Chains A and B, each alone.
Chain A
Amino acid sequence: MTLLVLPTAAWAAQSSSANYQVNEVFFGAGGALNDCSANYCAKESVGETAVGSTSSANYEAQAGFNTNRTPYLQFIVNGTTTDVGVLSTGSTTTTTSTFSVKNYLSSGYSVVTVSNPPANNAYTLHNLTSPTAASAGTEQFGINLRANSSPTSFGADPAQIPSSSFSFGAAATGYNTPNLYKYVPGDTIASSTKSSGETDFTISYIYDISNLTAGGYYSFNDVLVATATF
């Protein structure tokens, strides 16, 4: 039996030069792009010898019959409201939050923190502008994205899901040293230089106050922005 597949002339190219473009070319033992029952659909292929992402300094490719042509960015911030209670000059207050990023068909992504440091009306908690250790009694606010042992054991290193073979997100410089904290609005705190599977990040926050830190309620609304370049 001869199976004839007529290539379609899709005008929206996935790969193109000034003169040529290629759309969904498949040379393989078999498969189906849209194999559906009443409730489920599957995309199938047979005979692949290598799949996944491969890259050089300047190029990256997604190998496999079932690669998707749609660029993708998934950015999930586990938005919670945390009350860390009453701050003290005698000890550092810590807390954590998490977010995850994955993207596809991109040149990577960056996650920027855009919020101002915690503020109590017009009074803003002093933010650490360079990586600094926590110091009880000294007013400071900072974060990092690592597992820490000081001032206490808290936080976590970036977790690559399912593994570091597929996911490549990393904490950014300034935020990638355990036990050192920094916070500068507008800084990139996490990034990947290529398409990446899911990376789960944990932000570790430290709060320290001095005797001069103004009394009142301090609110920090941490807004993170993920930007992917395609």
Chain B
Amino acid sequence: MSRLETLRLSIGRVGAILLTIVFGLAAQAQFLPATVGAAGQISSRSITLSSSAISTATNYKIKFTPVTTAQELIIDFCSNSPLVGDSCSFSSSTVPTVGSLTSDVGTPSSVGSGSPVHTIKVTGLTMTGGSPFTINISAGITNPSTPVTFYARILTYTTGNAANYAPANTTGNTPTTGSGNVDTGGIALSTASNIQINAKVFETMVFCVFDTTCGTAPVLTLGDPTTGALSSSSAYINTTAQYTLATNAGSGVAVTMTGQTLCRVTPLNFSNCPTGASASTITAIGNTATAVNGGHFGTEQFGTCAGINGSSALTAVSPYNDSGCPTTATTNGAYSGAVTFGFNDSSSAGGTNNAAGSTILSSTGAVPSVTSNFAFVANISATTEAGLYQSNLNLVATGTF
């Protein structure tokens, strides 16, 4: 072997040894213990939004478990990467806008001067290593203005050192972690569109006053079943007038009655039947519920009451509200029961001769279908003028929706 060949071989061996040493050092560096001061990775980390709607002021609830105890927190929102050490891109369409903050623990504040400000600092915390930590930021964060995936970088610091974090004030710049950083971790979040569903429900009102079925106008006779005449020795009742009422009026319904008491005119002309007692009328009972039996025989009375057939939604209004008011259309003849009746034929408010009528039924809310009866009664005195008496009553249901 020549000296030259020996020299070449030696150089080759030296080169190979040097390469081996360099590679070994490099590999050893890769597996060396983490350097002192390197951040640990927080675990079980999440951010729960109260709403994913875009451009919405939203609560951000941050949960994580730190590796090491720390006292201060940085939350930095970036659109491009959750990794601490990467550059941070941001705009109001891609990351939350941070404003005046409120949190349930610690003292929160915004950090940086980017547009928008996208970084939160919270001091005065107790984040214990190995223990779950939760902070709810209830005000001061507005979601990005587009449906987008974005990231939060979480960094914990020891007391006084979160101020060392310098966020990117220009999109694409890289934040500076500074000294005192303890743990880090990244979280992905997303805003999303909303699903809007519209529906309509029609207002409904079913009100029918009838004899046997809806559509059959009730024409009632008060008097003796045989002669058809009233008597001063007995009261007579007719309960065959029925009604059905149903409505979805959420603020209730009122049924008002207008018309005169029994009026004697030939031909019939209600304008000749003034309110109160007169020679042309059978006197209405008035606005005070009164019985028509016993001692009331021989006294002019005309009145009515309204049944509600057990409805919990509908109420009969005084003086038409005796709970014993017959609820079945079966009675037509003499009446000696103790039920009280009324008929306010005043022309003042609340009377049947007032344009607004006298309220006989009402509810404060929607009414499921109710079918019941109106009961009409009459008494006459010994001096009641003979003749044909008639009352033409109009009932109106008004719902408030």
Interface residues in chain A, defined as those with a beta carbon under 8 Å from any beta carbon in chain B: 2, 4-7, 9-14, 16, 18-23, 25, 69-87, 93, 95, 97, 99, 103, 106-107, 112, 114, 118, 120, 123, 203, 205, 207, 209-230
Contact = CB atoms under 8 A, between A and B. Distances in A.
A58 to B, nearest CB: 12
Given A7-B27, A13-B34, A75-B52, A81 B196 contact: yes
A69 B186 CA distance: 11
Interface in B200-238: 200-204
B100 to A, nearest CB: 23
A218 B201 contact: yes
A6 B26 contact: yes
Nearest to A80: B195
A80 B193 CA distance: 8
A212 B366 contact: yes
A36 to B, nearest CB: 18
Given A215-B401, A230-B186, A77 B192 contact: yes
B291 interface: no
B202 A86 contact: yes
A221 B196 contact: yes
Contact of B41 (A10, A16, A25): A16
Contacts of A83: 197-199
A11 to B, nearest CB: 5
A82 B52 contact: no
Contacts of A75: 52, 149, 190, 192
Interface residues of B, number: 66
B246 interface: yes
A210 B197 CA distance: 19
A190 to B, nearest CB: 13
Interface stretch (B77-85, B87-95, B299-307, B384-392): B77-85
Interface string B22-54: 110011011101110011110011111111110
A228 B47 CA distance: 8
Interface of B: 19, 22-23, 26-27, 29-31, 33-35, 38-41, 44-53, 63, 67, 81-86, 147, 149, 151, 184-190, 192-204, 246, 248-250, 365-369, 401
Contacts of B190: 73-75, 226
Given A7-B26, A7-B27, A9-B29, A16 B34 contact: yes
B339 to A, nearest CB: 30
B185 A221 contact: no
A14 B19 CA distance: 29
B13 to A, nearest CB: 14
Given A16-B41, A123-B250, A223-B52, A217 B200 contact: yes
Contact of B199 (A69, A118, A230): A118
Contact of A7 (B30, B45, B147): B30
B266 to A, nearest CB: 45
A71 B401 contact: no
Contacts of A80: 195-196
* Interchain residue pairs A-B with the least CB separation, the first 7: A79-B193, A215-B203, A75-B190, A214-B250, A73-B188, A222-B195, A212-B366
B202 A71 contact: no
A72 B151 CA distance: 8
A211 B201 contact: no
Given A11-B85, A221-B196, A227-B49, 18 more contacts: A19-B33, A22-B31, A81-B196, A114-B50, A211-B248, A212-B366, A212-B368, A214-B249, A214-B250, A215-B248, A215-B250, A218-B200, A218-B201, A220-B196, A224-B195, A229-B46, A230-B46, A230-B186
B22 A222 contact: no
Contact of A211 (B23, B83, B194, B368): B368
Given A9-B29, A79-B193, A70 B202 contact: no
Given A20-B34, A227-B46, A217 B188 contact: no
A79 B195 contact: yes
Given A20-B31, A103-B188, A223-B53, A93 B199 contact: yes
Contact of B82 (A18, A70, A118, A215): A70
Contacts of A71: 82, 151, 186-188
A76 B147 contact: yes
B23 A4 contact: yes
A217 B198 contact: yes
A215 B202 contact: yes
A77 B147 contact: yes
Nearest to A97: B195
30 contacts: A2-B19, A4-B23, A12-B86, A16-B38, A18-B40, A20-B33, A21-B34, A70-B82, A70-B83, A71-B151, A78-B195, A79-B147, A81-B197, A86-B201, A103-B188, A114-B50, A213-B201, A214-B366, A215-B204, A215-B248, A215-B250, A216-B201, A217-B199, A220-B198, A221-B194, A222-B194, A222-B195, A225-B50, A227-B47, A230-B188
B32 to A, nearest CB: 8
Nearest to B190: A75
B197 A225 contact: no
Given A95-B197, A203-B195, A19 B34 contact: yes
Contacts of B82: 70-71
A25 B30 contact: yes
User: Which of B53, B81, B185, B198 gathers most chain A CB within 10 Å?
Assistant: B198
Contact of B193 (A23, A77, A85, A93): A77
Contacts of A118: 197, 199
Contact of A81 (B52, B187, B198): B198
Contacts of B195: 77-80, 82, 97, 203, 220-222, 224
B200 A79 contact: no
